[in-house]
Amino acid sequence: MATVDEVLDILDVLISYDTVALTPNLDLIEDVKDRLESLGAKVVLTYDDTETKANLFATIGPDIEGGVVLSGHSDVVPVNPDDWTTPPFKADRRDGRVYGRGTADMKGFVACVLAMAPIYAALDLTVPIHIALTFDEEDGFHGAPILLADLAESGIRPSAAVIGEPTGLRTVGAHKGCYEYRTTVTGMNGHSSVPAEAVSAVHYAMRWISGLLSLGDEMEHRAPDQSPYDPPPTTFNVGTISGGQGRCVVADKCWFDWEMRPVQVEDANFVKEHMAILESSLLDEMQSVYPEASIETQMVCEIDGLEWRDDSPALDLMKVLLDEEVVANGGFLPVDVVSYGTEAGLFQAAGIPAVLWGPGDIGVAHRPDEFIEVADLEVCLCLLRRLGGHLAS
């Protein structure tokens, strides 16, 4: 039987791999591949264009349709080591917790799955258990679409997916979408003493951003009356902005990264239409001075939300797995909704019913001294044991 000590040992290894989003992850992926292939699992890797990053999809059990996917992302968010009490890529066990980047989001869940893999391999499973690891979820969701496209091409059709995000052991049946963009404004530089003879990319970027944020009230009005989300409406955030050369120079370039978290696709379409009108007006002004001025928006990702579905096989599965033993140890049966975005929306769009459930607290996930409670890992193991028993003959 898999033990929490085995989970902790595996987690130590996973944390030691620096897999910050947009950087290579092959050391971790090859490690996991070797572990699973040694158990007889069928393992397929799908790569990005640079072949420095890969997704992993492994199958344990019969080669038939259906089964359950246990999915996590291999990447983590960046760190500033100076903000950490201990080295971020060295697991530190103390006070009933494990500290390290990715402990909660979401290598703790992955460690539990890998600890259970030998148990699954020894069972007479009636349907397969699949294990999925993706890359770059934290910055653009670049990996999962490649993995899901490969599954579709290969004719692999799982019946449900459990995405092990740090939900605090709560079942999550719906979440908002995540649309991410970079907008670049190109103007014409000049001396700040004669601003009318130049086109300030910074000033026009500010007006564009102001127009976006002014839609906040409209989003409040458009939010469904019974929106279950907190906050209820579609929201915006401009996360980074950069431009200009100095105080006395009119800036010819400015770019900014921004996102919206749509409650419904109609909100996203409304925002795009409104911003296109504003952008056209701004460009008329800019190009009257400098005809080559431009405003260009590059889509990083547009990930639709996980839609609530009462008849979801993934939710039905969780109701079976969250039996009295799991609940008594801390697992939660009530189904929640959340405002952040995950790969679950992509799985659902690919025809694989999905649900979020995993150990760890999202509130500590992207912060210095990220940690996971050992007790959470024990509950996760308990549920994964139930899964094996449920799927075995």
- Measured distance CA(24)–CA(75) in Å, rounded: 9
Set 75, 105, 136, 370: catalytic member: 75
Helices (H) then strands (E): counts for the chain:
11, 17
d(CA 143, CA 43): 16
Contact 119, 14 (CB under 8 A): no
In terms of Cβ atoms closer than 10 Å to its own Cβ (0-12, 13-18, 19+), residue 338 is buried
Helix (H, G, I), strand (E, B) or coil at 290: coil
75 is an active site residue:
yes
* Cα–Cα distance, 136 to 151 (Å, whole number): 18
Q: 234: how many CB neighbours lie within 10 A of its CB?
A: 27
Cα–Cα distances in angstroms (integers) from residue 70 to residues 59, 110, 126, 176, 304, in the given order: 10, 9, 16, 21, 20
CA-CA distance, 115 to 1, in Å (whole number)? 9
Q: What's the chain's Rg over C-alpha atoms?
A: 23
Whether 105 is catalytic is: no
Contacts of 100 (CB under 8 A, 6+ apart): 11, 15, 86, 88, 89, 90, 91, 92, 370, 371
Q: What amino acid is encoded at 62 in this protein?
A: P
SS3 at position 61: coil
Closest CA relative to residue 120, chosen from 295, 2, 218, 223: 2
User: Contact at 8 Å (CB) between 259 and 212?
Assistant: no
186 has which bridge partners? 253, 294
* Cα 24 to the center of its chain, rounded Å: 17
Find the catalytic residue in 105, 136, 137, 267.
137
The residues annotated with a catalytic role in the active site are: 75, 137
